[in-house]
Structure 1
Amino acid sequence: MPEPSLLASILAAAARRMRSDFDDSSLIHHNASKGTVREGDLLEFLKKYLPDTVRAAGSSEIISADGQVSGQTDIVIYDPSAPPLFSRSGYRILPIECVYGVIEVKSRLTAAELTKSIDSIARLKRMPKTSYFEEPFTKITQIYGRTYNGYSPVFGFVFAYDSGDLMTMSDAFIRRLRLQPYDERIDAVWVLGKGSYTWTDPKLIVPHMHAAEGLHLAVARPEESVDVLMNMVLTISTLMSRSHMSPFNLTPYAANDPLWDGATVRGPVDYQAFPAG
């Protein structure tokens, strides 16, 4: 049997620490505080494996130029050029154009919690990305059976520290997925110590990193040493490395706001090489 890679050894140790930290956090009695601690643990883990082209933050709201506002997101991955519309005590408000991915974090994933995640991620993925400066040449992304001109879509994931039986919950999950367009679907679900929901080509039995036409849902058990972390790290790191956007244009977010009040116009002030007098 081949020796595990260095990455596999590192992630195996990380999985052990994460399970231990999860057990320790059960000593916290307040559920909201317990959730905050667990979200923070996952965030600090992810930051070590994200490419430098993106940033990750905890609790955030996401807004669009047409006035839509997301619910609170647990972890958001965004472009470093995103303007700080609001940032205080670790809480951010970010424009949807600069967002590449969101992760919902659950202490225990149940069928009801999964349904909430399905709905919240779909709502966020429907938010329009429209505020970019036009450029003569833009990068094209083809994914979900769609073409995105000059930007990448938002990817949506769920991570849980525990869950019920994933195979049992998958029946209801599949029924809901059949009612969703591919670009609004959850791209992966990972449960520490229990397994994952990912996508696969049934003919080739190879994993895919996002939903797409013709793919089947794969309900997988975790590899004993690295748990679900290897799949999670490779998926998120690869998708985020490829994510991109045209230069962000903040102006549409202030389209209905006055830029001044009572201005006095004076001039002209055109250049004169030889001023009169």
Structure 2
Amino acid sequence: MKGAGQKRTRITKDERARRDVFKVREQSVRSYFSNLNKHVGDLRNKETDFYGIDRELKFFQDNIIFEYEKTKGLRHPRDLGNARENILKDFIKASGLFPPKYSISERSSRVAATSGHISNEMDIVFYDYLDRYVLMQRNSAYDVYSAECVYGVVQVKSKLTSKELVSAINNIKSYKKLKRVSNSAFFIGNGDSSINGFGVIFAYESGMDWHEIVDLLQAEVLKNKPSELPNAIFILNQGYFIFGTETEYLSLNSDRMVNAKDVIVHGFPDRDENSLSHFYEIIIRLLNNTLKISTDILKYRSLPLTAGDYSYRFSSGVLNELARCELHGEYHRLFKESALECILLYCVSKEKINLIKLLDLGLGRAGDNEDAYNRQPIDVVVYNPENLLPTEIMFMDPQPFEFEGKTFTAPPCAYYRIICSNMDIVIPFYYIVKENMLHSCPKCKK
């Protein structure tokens, strides 16, 4: 099966037969190991009170399934979704198997980064209990956490369909694209330590068979960057899936997924009715492997503007952020993602020039006032793909203005200056208009 909006791959008769054989075999294997584990467990119960947390996790799994079945009487979709999220949350909070430093969100939550980007709504957010910042709260119903204090997220689904799986992958992607920014260039950790947070999908059941899920996940591998894929997908009554290569599983370390090549899907069918144990193992490993990063809260005071994956600020701040429509008044002046991509591609290899020198050249001066340039060492890159002269693009025709009762004449600036990808960029109005770089009025589209 392919992603949402794509046609279902036709399954041949031989392939269908092979999948049916796989399904029957897996059911037999699962029944055998489930009975064997129960028999061994009964014997060990007679010998000792405690012989490992797998038995406890099996009790928790049985209770989770029981509570899940009880929710099937709910009719309102929102109530149903909340109830099933809470089943998993209750396990995490009450099982005693998660250290208190790993707290989870109590309500609807999103995660924000210093880049100005924010995730979609997350069902469960794991955050650091002692070093957390709730950046925004609304009526005890909605929270926004800083990316640095969040270890990872979980999306909870009831019955996983192809549509729900793609939706969950996209939600996880919105979180995993966020950057956790550290105050320090040094980290102390082992070889499994990861700066990037994790994302996991948990479903109680699925209407798809095993091979359909594999096909869909492999299609998602082709559509997404490895770093933005979920670390794992769990289906309580079927098993779990992780991503890796032919020689390595990548899911236990989000950093290893960043530059991964030739990613494939690895599937692990549930053969002993103990899926929750595998879920717990991977979640606790991800939590322990994800580095704790302290939030620099001051970086969240005023976030930059965003355009797709890019972040930018107007150098003049709010003075440049407002545009005006003759019909509908003021609106936010925003660059298009495609425009920023084009600007950055051009500017990354261009030489910098002192801003004061650039202005002097724009005014037709010699550009040799080195003392002034040294006093104001502001270096910029000019977006100028047509190599026009500064006198042609830096200023408009002189306009009169009044100051303290006197009239003066000066040429208005004909450019915007933005900070983007660690570059200070001057973008002349000439190119902004010619290349249609800005979004228009959202009401009239003019």
Considering the TM-score relative to the shorter chain, is it more than 0.5? yes
- 1:121–1:186 CA contact under 8 A, matched in 2: yes
- 1:83 matches 2:83: no
118-127 vs 2-11, which moves further? 2-11
Query: Which residue of 162, 171, 185 maps to 2:229?
Result: 185
- Identify if the C-alpha distance between structure 1 residues 67 and 216 changes in structure 2 by more than 3 Å, giving closer, same or farther: closer
RMSD between superposed Cα atoms in Å:
2.8
SS state of the match for residue 161, structure 1?
strand
- 2:122–2:171 CA contact under 8 A, matched in 1: no
- Identify if the C-alpha distance between structure 1 residues 256 and 94 changes in structure 2 by more than 3 Å, giving closer, same or farther: closer
SS state of the match for residue 296, structure 2?
coil
**Per-residue CA distance 1:72-111 (angstroms, 9 max, x = gap):** 1000111221113234535321011211111100011111
For 1:118 and 1:10, how far apart are their aligned partners in 2? 30
- Identify if the C-alpha distance between structure 1 residues 140 and 224 changes in structure 2 by more than 3 Å, giving closer, same or farther: closer
SS state of the match for residue 107, structure 1?
strand
Match of 2:52 in 1: 6
1:115 to partner: Cα distance: 0.9
Higher RCO by CA contacts (8 Å cutoff, separation 6 or greater)? 1
For 2:243 and 2:156, how far apart are their aligned partners in 1? 20
- Identify if the C-alpha distance between structure 1 residues 84 and 249 changes in structure 2 by more than 3 Å, giving closer, same or farther: same
Match of 2:290 in 1: 243
SS state of the match for residue 37, structure 1?
helix
Match of 1:268 in 2: none
For 2:247 and 2:296, how far apart are their aligned partners in 1? 44
Larger Rg over CA atoms: 2
- 2:237–2:273 CA contact under 8 A, matched in 1: no
- Identify if the C-alpha distance between structure 1 residues 138 and 220 changes in structure 2 by more than 3 Å, giving closer, same or farther: closer
**Per-residue CA distance 1:101-124 (angstroms, 9 max, x = gap):** 111000111111111122221121
1:229 to partner: Cα distance: 0.6
1:38 to partner: Cα distance: 0.6
Query: Which residue of 94, 97, 113 maps to 2:148?
Result: 97
Gaps of 5+ in 1: 258-277
Query: Which residue of 119, 139, 149 maps to 1:70?
Result: 119
- Identify if the C-alpha distance between structure 1 residues 172 and 35 changes in structure 2 by more than 3 Å, giving closer, same or farther: same
1:248 to partner: Cα distance: 1.4
Within-5 A mapping of 1:1-277: 3=40, 5-47=51-93, 48=95, 49-58=97-106, 59-80=108-129, 81-87=131-137, 88-89=139-140, 91-130=142-181, 132-134=182-184, 137-139=186-188, 152-163=195-206, 164-199=208-243, 202=246, 209=252, 212=257, 213=260, 216-226=264-274, 228-255=275-302
Match of 2:436 in 1: none
1:30 to partner: Cα distance: 0.5
For 2:146 and 2:247, how far apart are their aligned partners in 1? 40
- Identify if the C-alpha distance between structure 1 residues 195 and 57 changes in structure 2 by more than 3 Å, giving closer, same or farther: same
Task: Determine which structure has the larger helix proportion and give its number.
Answer: 2
For 1:98 and 1:245, how far apart are their aligned partners in 2? 7
- Identify if the C-alpha distance between structure 1 residues 50 and 171 changes in structure 2 by more than 3 Å, giving closer, same or farther: same
For 1:182 and 1:29, how far apart are their aligned partners in 2? 37
1:28 to partner: Cα distance: 0.9
The AA in structure 1 aligned to 2:221 is L
Match of 2:391 in 1: none
Gaps of 5+ in 2: 1-35, 42-50, 305-446
For 1:176 and 1:200, how far apart are their aligned partners in 2? 13
For 1:179 and 1:224, how far apart are their aligned partners in 2? 33
For 1:66 and 1:255, how far apart are their aligned partners in 2? 10
The AA in structure 2 aligned to 1:82 is R
